[in-house]
Every structure is written in structure tokens, then in C-alpha cells.
Structure 1
């Protein structure tokens, strides 16, 4: 993974990441630092899963970021009915 040694290098790397996101229709919803795990967490919306996967591959191949976990995000409002039904079935 590429590392920045100056703020200017960091800005350039972030610009490249955001360029890949934009080229694939990604819209960053939230981004921040998880200090307990020492990682950055970002939630990005895409029109479809193919665009999300393409973005992850491009960013990884360029050495811009390392993905610890990537996948669909489900809101609590969507998740709880599914979880409740599963609990009731058991």
C-alpha cells in the first residue's frame, strides 16, 4: 500500500481514491477513524454491486487502500425485521 510522507502526498493519494470512487458512481456517505482498530471506516453508496466491486479492485490494484472488510450495509430498519423473523423461527 502506498504511504504518504507529507500532507501534500496524502492529499494526492486521497484525490486519486476519490477519483476512482467518482468514476464508478460512488457517493461517500460517511467516513471516519475507528481508533480502537486503527482503521478508517467509510460507507459509500453505489448504484449496483458491480460498481462497488470494480471500485474495490481498482483501488486495491493501485495500492491506494487495503480493504479489511467490504460488503453490503444494511440499516437497522431493514435488518431488524429479518433478524426478528429468524429469531421467531427458532
Structure 2
């Protein structure tokens, strides 16, 4: 199933940014894809990213929990144990 962005939204983005309709559609598609990322994938991706920059697990788990709460469609609140299980199985 392919996603087709709302034409009114695409037109608004194009008009307010000076992008072409095709570029605006691509931006909308990218934003929707970013926010459609499943919680499990988000947690694993953020953990790996933060680990790369030297963060330790207690700090990482607290930060991921905060980030999850701030998502456009907030994920359910996850405990540190649940976050660990998503990452390590």
C-alpha cells in the first residue's frame, strides 16, 4: 500500500516554502514516515545512536523514555526493563 499525501497539505507546504509540488510531497512523505516508525524500531535506533556517542544505559533509557513521551502520537510509557527487552530481547 502506497501513501499518497493530502493534496491540500502539499499545496500549502509548496506555497509557504517555495518548493515544487513534487518536493513538497516528498517532504510530507518523509515526515509521515518518520512519525510512523514503530516504537520498537525507534527505541533500538535511538539506543544505538546514543551508545555511539558514549552515553551509558541509565542515561540512555531515561532519555528514550522522555523522547517517547514527546512524540506526536505518544507511545505508551515503558519501564527501563521494557526498554532493555526491546533492545536486547
Is the TM-score greater than 0.5?
Answer: no
Higher relative contact order (CA 8 A, sep 6+): 1
Q: What TM-score, normalized to structure 2? A: 0.30
| TM-score, with length taken from structure 1 | 0.30
- Greater per-residue strand proportion: 1
